[in-house]
């Protein structure tokens, strides 16, 4: 496991975001609402995932003008998404000075076989994962933060729960395996052996493990935290709801007090209508975003 | 003696692991009434705007002032240092004002300007203190009662005033325990009173 100064600084920023909420925003006004609500960072986007899903077409890195407008509007870290494998979009965002890059399945992949070699960059990357093998492959490539893929833009928590449980179960399993079984496990997971050994020894991922994809309510956010996530991303769930400012504040509160039902009740009261949401099991296979990347 | 770690958001778990290793009784603080049971509070790294809103909305402000009045010790790292300062800029925001320092947020720039460095502190002596700076603030002014424990690039980065210690870097992300031990001695003095 490479833990040089550069990687420590990248993971360091991810550490600072723990216990917080990272919110998708599409303009300066939304970014200010998010910051005012207590977001620890914002994700600058051209369209939220629910709109990407509805409108179709090729989804690319957001326009520079839009990202810059958001960077100028807030003092908290600003993240932005690049297409899977599109290392030139990443070079451009690093030059722009964004604080974190999300190599994201929400955008249309640029490379169906290879992800970005993230060790080549000074800016940290977050990547999505559905299981431990996928998480460790991304960390092997240099990701400084892992998030569940969930099913972005669905407003349905079921996939994030599936992915979170899958990652956490596999971690727990590794901690009880005898050392001689770890190589076979590494082969089975399709994950680097050194990282498999690291997880077996420490009982956690070597980088922060966040939840994303379908979080729409304070209860959804707290559910992810109780299942072992260390922070949450909320995409369409805030600005596709009836009262975004109030919902944003409530989700922030729910993440801090994820284990406190009294506070969770307070956070869940008088929220207005949530985003409508989709039944993921009725989506056609080609409509799923989570199967992009491997 | 019991130490609290403000557990709103940020790297509070990293501070907790250190207290655990040092065998110090400690708790995560999420409710203002918990402040009555501790003799020292750690304000961790994270986003100062997020923590500030939480402290204001959840009724922490007065109980924190009360802890300071009864001589409690405070240790702020990065965002925590911002909360302890008297004056905060870039942009201006309220702060607790327990230390007579002025702090400029994100003063080194954005994340690509974050770095690790090793600096010898005349107070702690060798080996050098390992300093992890993440979107760090800069202390632009220290008042007369403030002792500078370490500097980097001509700016104070580790300062103490009475029972308050502030670092613009993250000792909790290194294996060096000397800064935490110094804070614990101050908290020990507070609980002995």
Q: What is the pLDDT along chain B (193 residues), one digit of tens a residue?
A: 999 999 999 999 999 999 999 999 999 999 999 999 999 999 999 999 999 999 999 999 999 999 999 999 999 999 999 999 999 999 999 999 999 999 999 999 999 999 999 999 999 999 999 999 999 999 999 999 999 999 999 999 999 999 999 999 999 999 999 999 999 999 998 887 6
Sign of the CA dihedral running A30, A35, A38, A41: positive
SS3 A184: helix
Q: Is the pLDDT of residue A272 over 80?
A: no
Q: Check CB contact of A266 with chain B, cutoff 8 Å.
A: no
Strand partners, A100: A79
Q: Check CB contact of B170 with chain A, cutoff 8 Å.
A: yes
Residue A227: per-residue pLDDT: 98
**pTM for the full model?**
0.96
Nearest to A99 by CA among B24, B38, B110: B110
Active site residues per annotation of B:
78, 170, 172
Considering only the beta carbons, identify the residue of A35, A98, A256 that sits closest to B8: A256
Rounded distance, CA A223 to CA A216, Å? 11
Pairwise CB contact (< 8 Å): B132 & A19: no
Tell me the residues of chain B between 96 and 115 that have a Cβ less than 8 Å away from chain A: 105-106, 109-112, 114-115
- DSSP string over A210-255: EB-SS--SHHHHHHHHHTT-SSEEESHHHHTSS-HHHHHHHHHHHH
Give, for A43, the enclosing helix (H) or strand (E).
Answer: strand A41-44
Q: Are strands B129-133 and B115-119 parallel, antiparallel or unpaired?
A: antiparallel
Pairwise CB contact (< 8 Å): B8 & A123: no
Rounded distance, CA A127 to CA A155, Å? 20
Q: Is the pLDDT of residue A274 over 90?
A: no
Q: Check CB contact of A256 with chain B, cutoff 8 Å.
A: yes
Q: What count of other Cβ atoms lies within 10 Å of the Cβ of residue B193?
A: 8
- Tell the burial category of A90 from Cβ atoms under 10 Å away from its Cβ (0-12, 13-18, 19+): buried
HSE-CB of A103 using CA atoms within 13 angstroms: 35
Pairwise CB contact (< 8 Å): B78 & A16: yes
Residue A199 structure tokens: 């997880």
Complex prediction ipTM: 0.96
Closest A-chain CA to B171: A12
Rounded distance, CA A32 to CA A23, Å? 11
Distance in Å from the first CA to the final CA of chain B = 11
Under 8 Å CB-to-CB from A91, ≥6 apart: which residues? A121
Give the tens place of pLDDT for each residue, A37-93: 999 999 999 998 889 888 989 999 999 999 999 999 999 999 999 999 999 999 999
């Amino acid at each position: 496991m490479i833990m040089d100064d550069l990687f420590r600084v990248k993971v360091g920023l991810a550490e600072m975001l723990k216990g917080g909420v990272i919110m998708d925003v599409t303009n300066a006004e939304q970014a200010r609402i998010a910051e005012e609500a207590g977001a620890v960072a914002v994700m600058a986007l051209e369209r939220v995932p629910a709109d990407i899903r509805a409108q179709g077409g090729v989804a690319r890195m957001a326009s520079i003008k839009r990202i810059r407008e958001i960077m100028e509007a807030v003092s908290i870290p600003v993240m932005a998404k690049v297409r899977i494998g599109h290392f030139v979009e990443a070079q451009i965002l690093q030059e722009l000075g964004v604080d974190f890059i999300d190599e994201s399945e929400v955008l249309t992949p640029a490379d169906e076989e290879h992800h970005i070699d993230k060790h080549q960059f000074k800016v940290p990357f977050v990547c999505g994962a559905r299981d431990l093998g996928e998480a460790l492959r991304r960390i092997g490539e240099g990701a400084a933060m892992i998030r569940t893929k969930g099913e972005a833009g669905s407003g349905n928590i079921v996939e994030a729960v599936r992915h979170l449980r899958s990652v956490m179960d596999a971690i727990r399993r590794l901690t009880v395996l005898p050392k001689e079984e770890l190589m076979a496990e590494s082969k089975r997971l399709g994950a680097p052996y050194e990282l498999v050994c690291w997880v077996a020894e420490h009982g956690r991922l070597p980088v922060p493990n966040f939840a994303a994809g379908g979080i729409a309510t304070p209860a959804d956010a707290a559910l992810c935290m109780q299942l072992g996530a260390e922070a949450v991303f909320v995409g369409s769930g805030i600005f596709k709801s009836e009262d975004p400012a109030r919902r944003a504040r409530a989700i922030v509160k729910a993440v801090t007090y994820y284990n406190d039902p009294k506070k969770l009740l307070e956070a869940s009261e008088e929220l207005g209508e949530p985003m409508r949401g989709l039944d993921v099991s009725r989506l056609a296979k080609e409509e799923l975003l989570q199967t992009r990347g491997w | 003696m019991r130490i609290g770690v403000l557990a709103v958001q940020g790297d509070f778990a990293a501070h907790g692991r250190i207290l655990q290793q040092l065998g110090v009784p400690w708790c995560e603080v999420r409710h203002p009434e918990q402040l009555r049971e501790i003799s020292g509070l750690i304000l961790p790294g994270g986003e100062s705007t997020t923590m500030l809103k939480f402290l204001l909305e959840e009724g922490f402000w007065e109980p924190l002032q009360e802890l300071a009045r009864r001589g409690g010790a405070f240790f702020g790292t990065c965002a925590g240092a911002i909360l302890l300062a008297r004056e905060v800029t870039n942009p201006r925001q309220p702060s607790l004002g327990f230390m007579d320092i002025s702090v400029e947020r994100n003063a080194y720039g954005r994340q690509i300007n974050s770095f690790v460095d090793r600096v010898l502190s005349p107070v702690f002596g060798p080996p050098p203190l390992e300093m992890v700076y993440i979107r760090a603030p800069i202390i632009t002014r220290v008042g007369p009662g403030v002792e500078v424990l370490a500097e980097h690039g001509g700016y104070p980065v580790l300062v103490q005033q009475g029972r308050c210690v502030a670092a613009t870097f993250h000792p909790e992300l290194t294996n060096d325990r000397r800064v935490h031990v110094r804070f614990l001695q101050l908290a020990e003095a507070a609980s002995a009173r």
